[in-house]
Structure 1
Amino acid sequence: MVLSNFDKSACIRCGKNSIVTDSDTGEHFCTKCGYVISEIVEDSGPEWRSFSKDGGADPTRTGVPTSLTRHDKGLSTIISPVNRDSSGKPLSSAMKTTVERLRTWDSRSQSHSSADRNLRQALSELSKLKDKLTISASVVEKAAYIYRKALDKGLVRGRSISALLAASLYAACRNAETPRTIKDVSDASNVRRKDIAKCYRLLFHELELKMPVVNPIQCIARISSNLQMSEKTKRYAIKILQEAQDNHESSGKDPMGLAATALYLACVQNGVSITQRDLAEAAGVTEVTIRNRYKGLKSQQSV
């Protein structure tokens, strides 16, 4: 505990000039009578905090962290168009000419190639898709990485930027096991599902992507929340899917279809009234899929 003098005024209880500050707890109190004047102290230090490589404190101010979601990765510099110095005073006429020349060369030194313009447009669309699909920043970073790899290999040439970007985002969701279907990405990006699937297959083969198998249990929460199902029904559906995975009944089948079928089977066995059409619309599958998967899950339930 580090104590320091806080105020030279007398304590309002005992009248002694013995008020100190505890820097650990932030309390202002009197050392004579123990009266606590305040429990919160404002931090007067800098609003940033950084550390050097050897573990010691580094007082230098750090900038915005680099990110693949920015076309220049956040490393470019821009000279302000305002002709004022750091203190706010106007620049002299000679300095204005020098700064204007620096602005010109700074603008010319930045890349304006077709690949750079392509990347600017793609990453701008990616930031919009992030809000529409409500996905995490890590998934967006992965999508930007996949699109950059495709751009380096020349896969963008002759293809739609929006379609390839949507395919990259779908691949990133699959890689991060985020439950987003091609239809979700298609509706958000306004690109045909067929075009996204075609670009996804291209990325999968050309970039040699390794995709994990989607666990249908992760899709249950999404479907049940759309239909406002009870927690009991969800838990029963998860139990059904776990048994199906143990019996290898779910191998090679659409995870959304399996999740919808497990919820339907749980509703049937718990006496919850729901139609196959409602489940199919919430899961983005057909009623035929639910009926076909229902036979397999029902048979392994009786085993």
Structure 2
Amino acid sequence: MMADSFCRDCNRLTEIVFDHSAGDTICSECGLVLEAYSVDETSEWRSFANDSSGHDPVRVGGPLNPLLTDGGLSTVIAKPTAGSTQLLSGKWQTRGSTNPDRNLIQAFKSISDMSDRLGLVTTIKVVWWSSSTMLHIADDRANEIYKKVEDQKPLKGRNLEAIVAACLYIACRQENKPRTVKEFCSVANGTTKKELGRAKEFIVKHLEAELGQSIEMGTIHASDYVKRFGSNLGMNNQAVKAAQEALQKSEELDIRRSPISLAAAVIYVITQLTNDPKLLKDISVVTRVAEGTIKNSYKDLYPHLSRIIPDWFANEEDIKSLLY
């Protein structure tokens, strides 16, 4: 906060800065601390949202969750611990031990844990399902998908880890921020690709029955993976941009490889044209694509390299120097 005040060192009125964290009033000209340990008398109200613009700041209270009974703010009485002298009547003991949202809360926690382990951004968590359309309202998309399916079809007896992972998979696809199936399996406590595929089909089937229309999953493009893979490999911005352009041009070719395999192969090619080439095994670890698959995808791309690699990134001679 800037203001004018008299500085005894400058011997004139100067602009001063008030440091709220330290409580110091500092002259902006000479750096003299004019007053120290001031008490900040402004309001304590804060907002803990990711983006506080347009939101009223709040001091206490958890966020409302429209998916839970009473917005998720109902009181739950815990059972007394061993040795506790606390006594509860039968009525209150029953209230404390039963929670209609217990299964939902557990599933939402699993979704949150998986999101954190996958490093998913908050844009995956904004949508409200209605009977005919989807409107962007601050809420968790994956949570809503899960609740919609549970409301229509009880999930008892099913692999809940696979169901939760499938909800996140669908949410990522719809937000055009896809993750690989192997990545989801790695955070779903041993869930296999086959189990995840079955869970996804189960969810899509029941959502389509509920909405009366097909569910748009979003098209997976190889270029969608490059930025994340490149960041994990330590690629510079120019190399990542070149890889994205190369993959976009490769879509015009008839190369029957999965988007992830193509992304891994193009990353390998691009890094070989830089001063910091990446080892095939490192690319395999980051992309979760087998080294043999990357080599075969590279062989399919090799005849077209001069066509797909941007001219501003590498010239014809550099491209021809690459080994087959």
TM-score interval, smaller chain: 0.5 to 0.7
Amino acid at match of 2:168: L
CA separation of 1:71 and 1:173: change in aligned 2, threshold 3 A: farther
Q: 1:226 to 1:265 in 2, by over 3 A?
A: same
TM-score of the two chains, using structure 2 as the length reference: 0.61
Task: Say yes or no: does 1:118 pair with 2:103.
Answer: yes
Matched, 1:211 2:217: yes
SS class of match (2:72): coil
In the TM superposition, residue 164 of structure 1 has moved relative to its aligned partner by 0.8
Q: Match of 1:64, as an amino acid? A: G
RMSD over equivalenced CA pairs, Å: 4.7
1:199 is matched with: 199
Specify whether residues 199 and 230 from structure 1 end up closer, same or farther in structure 2 by C-alpha distance, changes over 3 A only. same
- How many angstroms apart in 2 are the aligned matches of 1:60 and 1:274? 48
Q: Distance in 2 between matches of 1:67 and 1:296?
A: 50
Match of 1:65 among 63, 66, 72: 63
Distance 1:225 1:80, change over 3 A: closer
**Residue type of the alignment partner of 2:207:** L
**Larger Rg belongs to:** 1
Relative to structure 1, is the Cα distance of residues 289 and 12 closer, same or farther in structure 2, using a 3 angstrom cutoff? Answer: closer
Taking structure 1 as reference, are residues 64 and 264 closer, same or farther at Cα in structure 2, changes over 3 Å only? same
The answer to whether the Cα contact below 8 Å between 2:77 and 2:96 also exists between their aligned partners in 1 is: no
Distance 2:59 2:230 in 1: 47
Q: Which amino acid aligns with 1:238?
A: Q
CA distance in 1, matches of 2:57, 2:234: 52
Question: In structure 2, which of residues 72, 75, 79 is the aligned counterpart of residue 77 of structure 1?
Answer: 75
- Once the two structures are superposed, the pairs formed by residues 168-179 of structure 1 within 5 Å of their partners are 168-179=167-178
1:266 to 270, 285, 291: 270
* 1:63 to partner: Cα distance: 3.0
Structure 2 residue 313 is matched with structure 1 residue 284? no
The Cα of 1:188 is off from its aligned counterpart by: 1.4
- Which residue in 2 is equivalent to 1:47? 44
State the match for 1:139 in structure 2: 124
Deviation at 1:187, TM superposition (A): 1.4
Identity across matched positions, percent: 31
Q: 1:267 is matched by which residue type in structure 2?
A: T
> Residue type of the partner of 2:104?
L
**TM-score, length-scaled by structure 1:** 0.64
Q: Runs of 5+ in structure 1 lacking a partner?
A: 4-10, 14-20, 30-34, 51-57, 82-96
SS at match of 1:189: coil
CA displacement, residues 209-236 of structure 1 (integer Å, 9 cap, x when unaligned): 3212233223123323443344443333
2: CA distance, partners of 1:207 / 1:40: 59
1:153 aligns to what? 152
State the aligned residue count: 260
Indicate which of 95, 103, 108 corresponds to 1:108: 95
CA distance in 2, matches of 1:179, 1:244: 19
**Alignment-derived partner of residue 228 in structure 2:** 222
Q: Which runs of 4+ in 1 moved over 6 A?
A: 25-29, 58-62, 68-72
Judged with a 3 Å threshold, the aligned counterparts in structure 2 of structure 1 residues 177 and 37 are, in CA distance, closer, same or farther, namely same
Distance 1:47 1:294, change over 3 A: same
**Cα-to-partner distance string for 1:134-160 (whole Å, 9 max, x where unaligned):** 323453522111111110111513312
Per the alignment, residue 234 of structure 1 pairs with 240
Helix, strand or coil at the partner of 1:156 = coil
Distance in 1 (CA, whole Å) between partners of 2:230 and 2:182 is 18
One-letter amino acid of the structure 2 residue matched with residue 215 of structure 1: H
Counterparts in 2 of 1:253 and 1:111: CA distance versus 1, 3 Å: farther
